[in-house]
Structure 1
Amino acid sequence: MTDLAPPSERPRRLALPRPLILGGTILLLSIAVATFPTVFAPYEPDAFDYNALLQGPSMAHPMGTDNFGRDVLSRVIHAYTIDMQIAIFATIFPFFFGTIIGALVGYAGGIAETLFGRVVDAVITFPFLVLVIAIVSVLGPGLVNMYIAIGVVGWVFYARITAAEIKVQKRLDYADAGRAMGYTHMRIIFRHLLPNAITPAVVYWMTDMALAILLGSSLGYLGLGAQPPAAEWGVQIADGKNFMATAWWISVFPGVAIVLTGLGFSLTGDGLAELLRTKR
């Protein structure tokens, strides 16, 4: 049976965009560190050394030590595991649930689209971070409650993006052909429309994972995310806030890790968007 997808041009060999190469390299290294932290870390993240309190960067401790004598480099490396988990677990539900809801709403239109618009208006009225903090404050601190809070709010943005794309796709000839051939609405939506409409949501997902790391670190800093003594970048920055004048390295190096990892996700998202635009 002939596929209903729009005809595509003959494949061309395309050079990968530089942002995708650079961002992908950063992400691959981040994933490797997050998966095998003990291979890269010279010490255990919670190993106390009271003979090495607040020591600056040195050969023994390239990123110095904190107020408990813990090696900052080892804690930054082990924090990759938690923060990369935050990037995935905080966004995976919003991505899938929001994409499905957006596909259904965009295809149905009418009352469903009107009601969804009201939900979107209610969510975007308040700053995203404020809503998440409010929900976490009610549920209690911790990573699981943080994931729930982000999921409750974050799916709306994916749904809005997908609904807009589905509205465009359902007007094309191949969608009309599917309806004329008697295909069910579910088959038209999920087998034909959604594969052609999901690209913007995937690109947004990459950027959203960077924002999730930043949000998770912010909540960790506020005591609402990962809890001490966990090796997490936000917790580390909070641990060093009282020592900025004398031991700046406790907070600065976790901050650099946040920026670098977020840059990896952002560049990958930009590279994917550029690659997909070129293929079109």
Structure 2
Amino acid sequence: MTDITAISAEATPPQKTKLQLALRKPGFLIGTFIIGVSSLLALMPGVFAPLDPNFIDYNAVKQPPSWAHPFGTDMLGRDSLSRVIHAYSVNMQMAILATIFALIIGVVVGALVGFYRGIADMIFGRLVDAIITFPFLVLVIAVVAVLGPGLVNMYIAITLVGWVYYARLMRAEVIAQMGNDYASAGVVMGYSDSRIIFRHLLPNAITPVIVYWMTDMALAILLGSSLGYLGLGAQPPQAEWGVLIAEGRNFITTAWWLSLMPGIAIVLTGLGFSLVGDGLADLLRPRG
């Protein structure tokens, strides 16, 4: 007699692991490569930069790209390639520090509000309505204008405004998870609220928030560069992509490379985070 179990096992295709699925997604691989290279440049800029980013050479002012200076030089004769590479440290720092505190605060607040609902949910709803009424960038600029320019104040401003978006997403996910049997079972078995929230609900609801975080890091780089361009973020002579673009805006017709090279770095790094976020969304999506 034929073994039905063996036939069933042969007929059922083996389930692919997350790693196998990831390796079959070109966008995810490209994004991971970009972020990996960007992280390497951010951690060890001195290893890859050919010159000191602040070394002034008046004999090499505004030289176009060449073998000696692949990205050209700026109005003070500083090597643009070295400045773009050293800017990776600042801009990758922006991607993390401008979002990590908003992520933590938003996840905790969203989980608590989604679990308890009631008056806390009503107050949170009014707060969200008040904040999202105004454009995100306008609010951040307003806060930075009050606190003063600089990276630390920029991080504070983005956190004060950005945590609401994480909390709103987390609240919705927690409410959805509350409808599952495991959440009801935890209540019936007498588990404490903190155990139900942080050991059961939060791990099952965090995936969409992590995916959003990856995309938000790309936006944080763009926002940080915009504030640097406006003089509200990193301050000269610190190498930062927005600052580099601002320094080259007056020479766009005679020294186009000054703004183009940091602009390309912004686009590529933002693209990397976006591709990783899209790949994670596909990989972590529940499969039937």
TM-score bracket relative to the smaller structure: over 0.9
Q: Is residue 132 of structure 2 the alignment partner of residue 124 of structure 1?
A: yes
Give the aligned partner of residue 188 of structure 1.
Answer: 196
Conserved in 2, the CA contact under 8 Å of 1:27 and 1:264?
yes
Report the AA paired with residue 203 of structure 1: V
Conserved in 2, the CA contact under 8 Å of 1:102 and 1:161?
yes
Q: Distance in 2 between matches of 1:252 and 1:82?
A: 18
Among 212, 216, 223, which residue is 1:215 paired with? 223
Report the AA paired with residue 101 of structure 1: V
Among 22, 27, 38, which residue is 1:30 paired with? 38
Instruction: After TM superposition, list the pairs within 5 Å mapping 1:196-207 onto structure 2.
Output: 196-207=204-215
Q: Is residue 262 of structure 2 the alignment partner of residue 254 of structure 1?
A: yes
- Partner of 1:54: helix, strand, or coil? coil
Instruction: After TM superposition, list the pairs within 5 Å mapping 1:22-101 onto structure 2.
Output: 22-101=30-109
Q: Distance in 1 between matches of 2:286 and 2:126?
A: 35
Q: CA deviation at 1:18?
A: 2.3
Q: Distance in 1 between matches of 2:213 and 2:232?
A: 23
Q: Distance in 2 between matches of 1:277 and 1:92?
A: 23
Deviations 1:202-252 (A, max 9, x none): 000001000000000000000000000000000000000000000000001
Conserved in 2, the CA contact under 8 Å of 1:237 and 1:251?
yes
Q: Is residue 250 of structure 2 the alignment partner of residue 242 of structure 1?
A: yes
TM-score norm. by structure 1 comes to 0.95
Q: CA deviation at 1:19?
A: 2.0
TM-score norm. by structure 2 comes to 0.92
Q: Distance in 2 between matches of 1:107 and 1:250?
A: 51
Q: Distance in 2 between matches of 1:244 and 1:198?
A: 45
Conserved in 2, the CA contact under 8 Å of 1:203 and 1:272?
yes
Give the aligned partner of residue 15 of structure 1.
Answer: 21
Q: CA deviation at 1:279?
A: 4.7
Deviations 1:28-61 (A, max 9, x none): 0000000010111101100001000000000000
Give the aligned partner of residue 4 of structure 1.
Answer: none
Q: CA deviation at 1:12?
A: 3.5
Give the aligned partner of residue 7 of structure 1.
Answer: none
Deviations 1:130-159 (A, max 9, x none): 000000000000000000000100000000
Give the aligned partner of residue 155 of structure 1.
Answer: 163
Deviations 1:163-202 (A, max 9, x none): 0000010111000110111001110000000000000110
Q: CA deviation at 1:111?
A: 1.5
Between Structure 1 and Structure 2, whose CA radius of gyration is higher?
2
Conserved in 2, the CA contact under 8 Å of 1:18 and 1:271?
no
Cα gap change, 1:11/1:98 in structure 2, threshold over 3 Å: closer, same or farther? farther
Q: CA deviation at 1:256?
A: 0.3
Q: Distance in 1 between matches of 2:33 and 2:200?
A: 32
Structure 2: gaps spanning 5 or more residues: 1-13
- Partner of 2:21: helix, strand, or coil? coil
Report the AA paired with residue 117 of structure 1: G
Deviations 1:100-129 (A, max 9, x none): 000000111122111111111001000000
Q: Distance in 2 between matches of 1:278 and 1:237?
A: 42
Conserved in 2, the CA contact under 8 Å of 1:136 and 1:146?
yes
Conserved in 2, the CA contact under 8 Å of 1:226 and 1:235?
yes
Report the AA paired with residue 198 of structure 1: I
Report the AA paired with residue 21 of structure 2: A
Q: Distance in 2 between matches of 1:278 and 1:189?
A: 21
Report the AA paired with residue 141 of structure 1: P
Cα gap change, 1:11/1:194 in structure 2, threshold over 3 Å: closer, same or farther? farther
Structure 1: gaps spanning 5 or more residues: 1-9
Q: Please give the root-mean-square deviation of Cα atoms over the aligned residues, in Å.
A: 1.1
